[in-house]
């Protein structure tokens, strides 16, 4: 079974976050937080910092915390995908110069717009990013009222998914709570 690790960067912007628009082989456009495959020999932080720079032109200044993890098993396709999504702080100016030629857009969007842009994407992106947006919104509301924010730092949530099918175009994703 083929396995790989992907890093995702959650770059907060107001009540939302920074998203990149990725052009796929079938010419469709999908949205996700910046990130990508961690290369052999790279740590998650090294690879994620590289991906953020490549996709947005921004430099990662700090890794605040691992916000969540994702596992996607696709036994019929023979692969396992693991994702670590990190809240990061960045500096610099957005510039698009993706060496892979996939990222065509980079936008800071509200939580509401993020949900709309992500709605047609894979469940393993929409579900955990939506849960993170909910936590950020709840946390901001509690801070505004002066209440403490209970936010697990040491135990990020794990989101598990299984793809059913043997043809990439007709697989069905299942969320395993």
In this structure, which topology does domain 2-176 adopt according to CATH? Answer: Nucleoside Triphosphate Pyrophosphohydrolase (3.90.79)
Q: How confident is the model at residue 90 (pLDDT cuts 50, 70, 90)?
A: very high
Reduced to 3 states (helix: H, G, I; strand: E, B; else coil), residue 120 is: coil
- pLDDT of 139: 52
Q: 111-118 and 123-144 are packed helices; what angle lies between their axes, rounded to 10 degrees?
A: 170
State what percent of residues in the chain have pLDDT above 70: 90
Residues 140, 98: Cα–Cα separation, whole Å? 33
pLDDT-derived band at 143, boundaries 50, 70, 90: very low
């Amino acid at each position: 079974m083929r396995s790989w690790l992907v890093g995702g960067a959650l770059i907060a912007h107001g009540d939302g976050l920074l998203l990149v628009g990725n052009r796929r082989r079938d010419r469709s456009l999908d949205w996700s937080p910046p990130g990508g495959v961690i290369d052999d020999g790279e740590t998650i932080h090294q690879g994620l910092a590289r991906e953020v720079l490549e996709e947005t032109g921004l430099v990662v200044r700090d890794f605040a915390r691992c916000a969540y993890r994702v596992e996607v098993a696709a036994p019929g396709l023979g692969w396992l995908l693991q994702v670590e999504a990190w809240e990061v702080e960045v500096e610099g100016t957005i510039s698009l110069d993706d060496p892979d030629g996939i990222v065509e857009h980079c936008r800071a969007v509200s939580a509401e717009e993020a949900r709309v842009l992500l709605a047609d994407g894979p469940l393993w992106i929409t579900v955990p990013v939506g849960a993170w947006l909910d936590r950020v919104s709840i946390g901001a509301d509690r801070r505004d009222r002066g209440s403490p924010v209970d936010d697990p730092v040491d135990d990020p949530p794990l989101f598990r998914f299984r793809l059913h099918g043997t043809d990439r175009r007709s697989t069905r994703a299942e969320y395993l709570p």
